[in-house]
Amino acid sequence: MRLFLCEKPSQGRDIARVLGAARRASGHYIGPNIVVTWCIGHLVAAAAPEAYGEHYKRWSIEHLPIIPDRWRLDIKASTAHQFRVVRDLLASASDLVIATDADREGEMIAREILELCEYRGPIQRLWLSALNDASIRKALAELRSGNETLPLYHAALARSRADWLVGMNLSRLFTVLGRRAGYDGMLSVGRVQTPTLNLVVQRDRDIANFVAVPYWSIDVTLSSSEQSFPAQWTAPQGTTDDEGRCIHRHVAQLAADQLRAARTVQVTSVATERIREPPPLPFDLSTLQETCSRRLGLDVQETLDIAQSLYETHKATTYPRSDSGHLPSSMLAEAPTVLAALVAMDPSIQPLIAMLDRTQLSRAWDDRKVTAHHGIVPTLEPASLSAMSDKERAVYQLIRAHYLTQFLPPHEYERTTAQFSCADATLKAAGKRIVSNGWRVALNALSNGDGDERVSNNDRGEVLPPLAKGTHCSIGSIELKALKTQPSKPYTQGELVKAMKGVARLVTDPQLKQKLKDTTGIGTEATRAAIIQALIARRYLIKQGRAISASQAAFVLIDTIPRAIADPGTTAIWEQALDLIAAGQMPLSEFVSKQSAWVTTLVHEHSRSRLVMQALDKHTCPTCDAPMRERSGKHGAFWSCSNYPRCTSTRPIERADQRNTRPVCSKASRRPGRAG
């Protein structure tokens, strides 16, 4: 009997239908010499510390570190019945097809059960990118060897064990130290969640510590050929900040006076260039989450849930947890079928479909840049728009629009830059003339947005009149503006996902930055939303409309733990190591051994440290013992008693003495006591 092991009941139902396994039994479907069963997410989980000894029930530093010699799994009580169904079916299976989600976590969901049930039969892998019937049939005809995807299981196991080692040991260590110092909350430390939290804490601190700096600008209205257009004054060198803003009022005032005294300015240069912008790539999950947060106001978990529903329930789009926006070139042959399905779903888009060049090879079709998954695109078969909720339909339309842009020409425009002089003052004007809307037609028509995902504000100028070097333009209005620099804005959930994915750009340590690839990030496409939601659930992050901010507990945690734990670059290095394991280039045992050694070093270094006491002291009011909160005043940020105005105690902000114990996860590194 061939057994198919799926991840969810809905997947099992879809695959069973295609296989002809029509008879439903308890927890599985039965067909001719075929049985289809399923997990319900993870049926088993890593055992808690107390499973390795009763003494671990009590949180005590003396019992740390906890490093299992042999890792144990517990059967989840809530799904124990389905585990027994799977276990009994495995006992009678002649061969097995793993049909869980096509990623490392899906691999782990199946393989952990096989290990626990000691299954030793042959294994094949069903690698699905969509759950519509045509995609299932295609994947069934192209089953992979189980050995091909086994390294994904090792990578997932490495991730799970590293999370366990960091979470169980360091959460206990710093919570106990916090209690000794008088803090009664839990200091929950996570391999991924803590660096993510640190991103928000540092952004909030940057905002609180921000001191506005005044600067001046001059907006001028010019006219030529009876057409008016705006121009901006260019401050001379030596009078500006790094952003080119004039920081000397008298310089701006002198320039404004010179312009008011003149009647015209002379054109000193005119340059026009043709810009050809390719269409945006199909979505990967992070880009979809960032876009939906910005344009639709959706939480990142909500976007993931919707994308999962479009994939799993509606069969309208492909696998959502993708880290690639590119498409395999072989899928180009499927384009006519996909487009026909889109028209069948929504006949109103027929005029747009008629504009497409179905043979166009955009930059999205690139086999070299396709990872285990390709970009999120519509499936081969029609789905029902009417069955979707409003939010599902809005997300689907974005996905559909980005797919259709691949068959439209580039967006083309002419960008003209002109410079003018008047006495000692220099002006600059920018204009833009659209030559061809190209792919933006699809975004305008289908996503109810401005259709412009890629053009910066500097390129949004109006059309300039004909200008020639040496000619003159009349001066109209002149406005001298007194402005102030603005702080960074708080993260939204979508922006935080983007920061997690591109964390290499935020790393300041030059040695670490050199080790990181630009594509290395914190977490994975499948986990980033869950990480943010966990931080919100634990009240480390607070939602404020679309923005999120760090709570007082978050500041306490980040100031309490060593810098290496909260450093996003550290976790990004770990993710590189997981990629090496998934590629079969690093053994699981090496990674876990390094993680164990690093955690052991941290426990020994900080079990008697006064770091927690020092950090908590600054968060407690010296007058009434209430929590101190970070506030901003005219001289910058400071700590203020949360009982204000009843208690007016304050203290300056001082950074905790955080030791820079950084793990090195490069495969080339072999220094003892460092994590892998």
User: CA-CA distance, 668 to 666, in Å (whole number)?
Assistant: 5
Residue 555 sits at the vertex; the CA angle it makes with 553 and 560, to the nearest 5 degrees, is 95
* Residue where the block lists tokens 């285990």: 372
Query: Residue 92: is it exposed, middle or buried by C-beta count within 10 angstroms (0-12/13-18/19+)?
Result: exposed
Q: How long, in residues, is the chain?
A: 676
Helix (H, G, I), strand (E, B) or coil at 166: helix
In angstroms, the CA 461 to CA 35 distance is 63
Which DSSP letter does residue 642 get? T
Nearest CA among 18, 39, 30 for reference residue 141: 18
Exposed, middle or buried: residue 250 (CB in 10 Å: 0-12, 13-18, 19+)?
exposed
Number of H helices, E strands in the chain: 21, 20
Complete edge-to-edge strand list for the sheet that includes strand 636-641: 628-633, 636-641, 650-652
Residue 540 among the catalytic residues = no
Strand partners, 265: 473
CA distance 640 to 644: 7
C-alpha to C-alpha distance for 40 and 83, rounded to whole angstroms: 9
CB atoms within 10 A of CB 193: 25
Nearest CA among 342, 344, 345, 484 for reference residue 406: 342
Neighbours of 291 (CB within 10 A): 23
Q: How would you classify the pairing of strands 95-99 and 628-633?
A: unpaired
Strands 547-550 and 628-633: unpaired
Q: Are 663 and 598 contacting, i.e. CB atoms less than 8 angstroms apart?
A: yes
DSSP state of 491: P
Alpha carbon distances (Å) from 625 to 179, 554, 614, 651: 15, 18, 15, 13
How far is the first Cα of the chain from the last one, in angstroms, to the nearest whole number? 42
Closest to 284 measured CA to CA, from 364, 389, 404, 380: 364
* Residue whose structure tokens are 């196991």: 157
The CA radius of gyration of the chain, in Å to the nearest whole number, is 30
Cα–Cα distance between 247 and 482 in angstroms, integer? 10
Active-site residue (options: 311, 319, 403, 413): 319
Residue type at position 114: L
DSSP label at residue 627 = B
How many other C-beta atoms are found inside a 10 Å radius of the C-beta of residue 113? 23
Which parts of 24-145 fold into alpha helices (H)? 80-92, 104-116, 133-140
Q: List the structure tokens of 349.
A: 């888009």
Residues classed as catalytic:
319
